[in-house]
A and B are shown apart, each in its own frame.
Chain A
Amino acid sequence: MRGERAVLGLSLVFVVFLFVLLLFARSAYGVDLPGCLTDVEPYTKGAIEQIAANRYQLRYVAKMWTFDPPEVRVPAGAEVDLYLVTQDVVHGLQIPGTNVNLMAVPGAIAYTKVKFTRPGTYYVRCHEFCGAGHQFMEARIIVEETSPGANQ
């Protein structure tokens, strides 16, 4: 009985410790779970728009087997609000090297926020098998060293 209490107590401490670490990551580093908006009409055309200094709104449309827009440019340090919808089947969106990992479900808008600190080319890939051309489904985000506002 004493041993069981100790195991339960230790497990509880363990779970609370991991939960506190998650809360710390959220407050100190801005790590957050992706959201899903179901109360607004899904848009039909992809676009990028600057909404404030160094802040962009990037709206992706996923469809067999492309992302619209296929290539965008943002300056290094840009904060991007990323939205995703699908026009046909379920797709995924992952940007390797970042925490972006979204699912595009028909009828819903997936949302997450990402900050591109390092210049370079980021590849946007579909990670949910969506048919014969799934492996070719890719877009690019080019993060430029300077010249903010040079968008497609």
Chain B
Amino acid sequence: MSANRDKEGFVPRGAWTFFVLLLVVGLVIWLAVYFVMVNRT
């Protein structure tokens, strides 16, 4: 019973943190290249 209750309230915080950090790092790298490109025009 208590194992089921734990399962229902489970939030994958680690996975969410990893995903959000992945997006943020990707965005930083992508924007760095983007602004180098734009500044050269």
Contact = CB atoms under 8 A, between A and B. Distances in A.
Interface of A: 3, 7, 10-11, 14, 18, 21, 25, 29-31, 97-99, 115
A30 B40 CA distance: 11
Interface residues of B, number: 13
B32 interface: no
Given A3-B15, A29-B41, 6 more contacts: A7-B19, A14-B23, A14-B26, A14-B27, A99-B37, A99-B41
Binding site secondary structure of chain B: helix
B34 A21 contact: yes
Interface of B: 12, 15-16, 19, 23, 26-27, 30, 34, 37-38, 40-41
B23 A10 contact: yes
Given A3-B12, A7-B19, A10-B23, A18 B30 contact: yes
Among B15, B30, B34, B41, the one with the most A-chain Cβ atoms within 10 Å of its Cβ is B41
B3 to A, nearest CB: 20
Contacts of A99: 37, 40-41
A11 B22 CA distance: 11
Nearest to B16: A3
